[in-house]
A and B are shown apart, each in its own frame.
Chain A
Amino acid sequence: QVQLQQWGAGLLKPSETLSLTCAVSGGSFNDFYWSWIRQPPGKGLEWIGEINYSGTTNYNPSPSLKSRVTISVDTSKKQFSLNLRSVTAADTAVYYCAKDSLTVDSWGQGTLVTVSS
């Protein structure tokens, strides 16, 4: 049973960079894609992007996201990370890391990231 544990800063100022990391345990890291998903307060889920063990990435094509997002991987540590640059209040959300095996079937515990001056 795969488990995902995530961490990162929860309070940012506008224009700063959001950085989150997710560690995977209990399963094969190389067999799946690993995703980041976010959920603004009171709203629906939004897929940010994904990465596999070799560093192949796929990103949400939304212009407001794609130009600011970088997802990276450290296969030796079974970890993957999200960087979102130049954050604004609109980026305030719970961010989830997740396992993608033709659908998202395992989730991290979520991290509330608040952007406020």
Chain B
Amino acid sequence: QSALTQPASVSGSPGQSITISCTGTSSDVGSYNLVSWYQQHPGKVPKLIIFDVDRRPSGVSSRFSGSKSGNTASLTISGLQAEDEADYHCWSYAGSSTVVFGGGTKVTVL
């Protein structure tokens, strides 16, 4: 079971949109619509921002959206704000009652 692949870092200017990819395999991301995304500020506990590929928990900004195509899931942050600077982790069900995380992506707001 290998970790999902995310870019190490993504950056953007305030107001721009950025997209973070999360690439897995046909055994995890490609087989199930069970992909989540977590936001983690330094020294803080991860926070769920997207689940089931494209659903947002109550209270999460609509600027966060998720999608999936084949073995790759994506998180888009629209209207980038300074408070969005954080680490983002993807998660996928991987079959046989196991799950797998991505390596994490550091988002920098320029």
- Chain B interface residue count, CB cutoff 8 Å, equals 24
When the two chains form the complex, which single residue of A47, A59, A62, A96 contacts B45, counting CB atoms closer than 8 Å?
A: A96
Known contacts A50-B97, A60-B98; can you find 9 more A-B pairs with CB under 8 A?
Answer: A43-B103, A44-B89, A45-B89, A47-B98, A47-B101, A58-B97, A61-B1, A104-B38, A104-B91
A residues with CB within 8 A of B: 37, 43-47, 50, 58-62, 96, 102-105, 107-110
Query: Quick one: CB contact mask for B38-51 with A, threshold 8 Å, 1 for yes?
Result: 10000001101001
Q: 23 A-B contacts, Cβ less than 8 Å apart?
A: A37-B101, A44-B3, A44-B102, A45-B46, A45-B104, A46-B101, A47-B101, A58-B96, A58-B97, A60-B1, A61-B1, A61-B96, A62-B1, A96-B46, A102-B34, A103-B36, A103-B91, A104-B36, A104-B38, A107-B45, A107-B46, A108-B45, A109-B45
Please give me the residue from chain B that is nearest to A37 by CB atom: B101
Main secondary structure of the interface of B (DSSP, over half): loop
Tell me if B57 and A105 are in contact (CB < 8 A).
yes
Query: Quick one: CB contact mask for B43-63 with A, threshold 8 Å, 1 for yes?
Result: 001101001100001000000
When the two chains form the complex, which single residue of A43, A61, A62, A102 contacts B104, counting CB atoms closer than 8 Å?
A: A43
